[in-house]
Amino acid sequence: MAKPNLDHPTLPLVKQRFPDTKFLATEFRGQTTLVVPNDKLHDVLQFLRDDSQCAYDFLSDVTAVDYLQYPARQPIPGEPEKTGRFAVVYVLVSTVHNRRLIVKTLLNPTLDTAGIEDDPALHLPTVTDLWPGAEWTEREVFDMFGIRFDGHPDLRRILTWEKYPAHPLRKDYPLRGRGERDDYRVIERDSA
């Protein structure tokens, strides 16, 4: 197995700026991922945007992953005995330096994830103050995974209706749903 190439020029800058923070870094198919503790996430992202040697001026995407029943552990930085079930993933691009960096943070629910309860462990700070374009992608992560972004200017569902009874991209959500579509009134083309 080839040894990962972790010589991404941004990694030493982040470590220098946050010397007391435990990070994990991985590389897969030429893409470097920095795993950040969620209590340092906003500070690290702000540094990556504002520091002239980093200059990640474009947030390409915000998405999430549910690692329920995933065969590989997802260790939380600084807490190797703990693993994360959910990951929120930020894809950053520096148009100045022509670089990409993926930043990921891990969360563990404290409540049953089959419902829509507001789990205090599934909260992160919004990055709309850093990249205003994050507004819609954070709403999608909230709608599909139930992860809330504190300070978001308009955090409401974007793909499902407001009273939708679940978060459909969670792995414990049934593939066929829970009957949400059974009561839909079919609208024919000529009656629409």
Strand partners, 91: 61, 102
Q: How far apart are CA 162 and CA 170, in angstroms?
A: 17
Residue 73 lies in a domain: yes
pLDDT band per the 50, 70, 90 thresholds, residue 1 = very low
Q: Give the count of domains, the chain.
A: 1
Identify the residue with better confidence: 118 or 6: 118
Q: What's the confidence (pLDDT) of residue 100? A: 97
Residue 1 lies in a domain: no
Residue 153 lies in a domain: yes
Contacts of 109 (CB under 8 A, 6+ apart): 85, 86, 119, 121, 122
Structure tokens at 58: 């474009």
Residue 4 lies in a domain: no
Q: What's the confidence (pLDDT) of residue 2? A: 43
Residue 3 lies in a domain: no
Q: How far apart are CA 59 and CA 94, in angstroms?
A: 9
Three-state SS sequence of the chain: CCCCCCCCCHHHHHHHHCCCCCCEEEEECCEEEEECCCCCHHHHHHHHHHCCCCCCCEEEEEEEEECCCCCCCCEECCEEEEECCEEEEEEEEECCCCEEEEEEEEECCCCCCCCCCCCCCCEEECCCCCCCCHHHHHHHHHHHHCCEEECCCCCCCCCCCCCCCCCCCCCCCCCCCCCCCCCCCCCCHHHC
Range of the domain at 25: 10-191
CATH code of the domain containing 16? 3.30.460.80
Identify the residue with better confidence: 49 or 6: 49
Residue with tokens 């930043």: 103
pLDDT digits 0-9 by tens, 86-131: 999 999 999 999 999 999 999 999 998 887 789 999 999 999 999 9
Q: How far apart are CA 5 and CA 3, in angstroms?
A: 6
pLDDT digits 0-9 by tens, 140-162: 999 999 999 999 999 999 998 88
Inform me whether the pLDDT recorded for 80 exceeds 90.
no
The residue type at 106: L
Residue 136 lies in a domain: yes
On whether the pTM is more than 0.85, the answer is yes
Residue 40 lies in a domain: yes
Q: Write phi, then psi, for 136 (nearest 5 degrees).
A: -75, -40
Identify the residue with better confidence: 162 or 34: 34
